[in-house]
A and B are shown apart, each in its own frame.
Chain A
Amino acid sequence: MSIRSDPSDPEVVARVLGGDQEAFGILIRRYEPGLLRYATRMLGSGDAAADAVAEGLVRAYRHLASCREPARLRTWLYRIVVNRCKSHLARHATRDVSLEEAPPMADPADTEAEVERAEQVALVERALERLSPEKREAFILKHVEGMSYEEMAVVTGERIPALKMRVHRAREALLEALEEYR
């Protein structure tokens, strides 16, 4: 019995470039959750995040041939979406926080643990919102998306020492904000 493993990124990229448009769906399903999570945390709005990620993925498809290292497709896609988020933030001075995006109200059916967790998430989101976009970006890429400093350098175009400093400042600012909300 043979076990078919998921095709690698370079294999899927080759299929798409060869004319198999549907194969791009594999890449979307593979990276959409992380990209949407990143954009939502950066922009504070599900609608804006979905726009940024959708625009980024369409752009990625149209320029897929220019992806020189398909083995590092993840960082290439993040770079595109990170730039879409920066453009969005530059256009909108304040973050898009709407009632739709407010943390979900506790459902009476929720267990005590679920309610407590929802409150903790809301608290951390509020603390994160207080960070500048640069610090927020640094913390999310490092600690939420789990990137190395080398990957962050590819994604943001910044130098590693500057990114390390930014992550340090972000940790300090977030810890301070979390302490205030305790």
Chain B
Amino acid sequence: MNPIDPRVHQALDGEISPDSLPPELRRQVERLEGAAALLARVPELGVERRVMASISRPAPTRVRRLTRWLVTPHSLVLRVRPLWSVALAAVAVLFAIIPVRETGPRLGQEEGIAQFVARFPGAQSVAVVGSFNDWAEGSIPMEDQDHDGVWRASVVLPAGTHEYMFVVDGERWVADPLAGRYVEDDFGRENSLLIVRPAHR
């Protein structure tokens, strides 16, 4: 990276007049000021309605905020003395060589885990409803922890075929575009079909 003549910085900081610079340096000032002017264009975006809708809802409770913090990934920096590093490594090796019991949800003989993934950028909430929860909204909320618009939920379901849909923002019912299989319901809508296979065979 080539350093700029200090007079260019002084001119850009308003400490001296650009007119006092030699033509080559004045051209550099104009090029940077021109770039800034081009970047000053305001994008055609708006968030007012979205923000006003959000603030009219009650703020999340302390419990909800704590829950959210607990399930959100955080980076931790651990600084230890070399002696403690050796001790920690020894403990880690012990854990690695001693067999531990399998963790996770206990599944029955005729149960499996269903994972729901859907992309709804800008949605405030997404839930799964289906034949397995009597189409009750709110019993299986999906989560978008990193706010990238991809919502996820994992639930244990009885093995077999289930119908389901997503409920976006509590009002929009949407079939899963990735389901691959659909069936028409009594209201003329297409429900997504899910086949859950038993985890233990």
CB within 8 Å of B: which residues of A? 21-22, 24-25, 28-29, 32-34, 36-37, 40-41, 46-47, 49-51, 53-55, 57-58, 61-62, 91-92, 117, 120-121, 124-125, 127-128, 139-140, 143-144, 168-169, 171-176, 178
A58-B51, A61-B51, A61-B55 known; A124 and B32 CB under 8 Å?
no
Q: Is B1 touching A169 in the complex (CB atoms < 8 A)?
A: yes
Q: Is A125 touching B52 in the complex (CB atoms < 8 A)?
A: no
Q: Is A28 touching B52 in the complex (CB atoms < 8 A)?
A: yes
- 21 A-B contact pairs sorted by A residue (CB < 8 Å): A21-B55, A21-B56, A33-B42, A41-B39, A46-B45, A49-B43, A51-B147, A54-B51, A58-B51, A58-B54, A121-B39, A124-B39, A125-B39, A143-B32, A143-B36, A168-B4, A169-B1, A171-B8, A174-B32, A176-B1, A176-B2
Q: Which B residues touch A47, using CB under 8 A?
A: 121-122
Q: Is B3 touching A172 in the complex (CB atoms < 8 A)?
A: yes
Measured in the bound complex, the distance between the Cα atoms of B43 and A46 in whole Å is 8
Interface assignment of B31: CB less than 8 Å from any CB of chain A? yes
Within 8 A of A (CB), among B32-80: 32-33, 35-36, 38-43, 45-48, 50-52, 54-56, 59
A171-B12, A172-B1 known; A25 and B52 CB under 8 Å?
yes
Closest beta carbon of chain B to A143's beta carbon, Å: 4
Q: Which B residues touch A54, using CB under 8 A?
A: 47, 50-51, 54
Closest beta carbon of chain A to B164's beta carbon, Å: 27
Q: Which B residues touch A49, using CB under 8 A?
A: 43, 45
The 5 closest A-B pairs by CB, nearest first: A143-B36, A54-B47, A33-B42, A57-B51, A124-B35
Measured in the bound complex, the distance between the Cα atoms of B187 and A147 in whole Å is 58
Q: Is A32 touching B35 in the complex (CB atoms < 8 A)?
A: no
B: contact size bracket: 35 or more
Q: Is A178 touching B31 in the complex (CB atoms < 8 A)?
A: yes
Q: Is A29 touching B1 in the complex (CB atoms < 8 A)?
A: no
Digit string of B10-31 for contact with A (CB within 8 Å is 1, else 0)? 0010000000000000001001
Measured in the bound complex, the distance between the Cα atoms of B32 and A58 in whole Å is 34
Q: Is B4 touching A175 in the complex (CB atoms < 8 A)?
A: yes
Q: Which of B48, B59, B146 counts the most chain A CB atoms within 10 A?
A: B48
Measured in the bound complex, the distance between the Cα atoms of B36 and A171 in whole Å is 11
Measured in the bound complex, the distance between the Cα atoms of B177 and A144 in whole Å is 42
Q: Which B residues touch A139, using CB under 8 A?
A: 36
Measured in the bound complex, the distance between the Cα atoms of B40 and A125 in whole Å is 11
A25-B48, A50-B47, A176-B2 known; A171 and B9 CB under 8 Å?
yes
- Given B9, B48, B55, B122, which contacts A32 in the complex, CB threshold below 8 Å? B48
Q: Which B residues touch A34, using CB under 8 A?
A: 42
Measured in the bound complex, the distance between the Cα atoms of B28 and A172 in whole Å is 10
Q: Which B residues touch A140, using CB under 8 A?
A: 39
Q: Which A residues touch B56, using CB under 8 A?
A: 21
Closest beta carbon of chain B to A56's beta carbon, Å: 9
Q: Is B47 touching A172 in the complex (CB atoms < 8 A)?
A: no
Closest beta carbon of chain A to B145's beta carbon, Å: 10
A24-B55, A62-B59, A171-B4 known; A29 and B38 CB under 8 Å?
no
Closest beta carbon of chain B to A165's beta carbon, Å: 10
Q: Is A174 touching B55 in the complex (CB atoms < 8 A)?
A: no
Q: Which of B31, B47, B50 counts the most chain A CB atoms within 10 A?
A: B47
Q: Which A residues touch B41, using CB under 8 A?
A: 37, 121
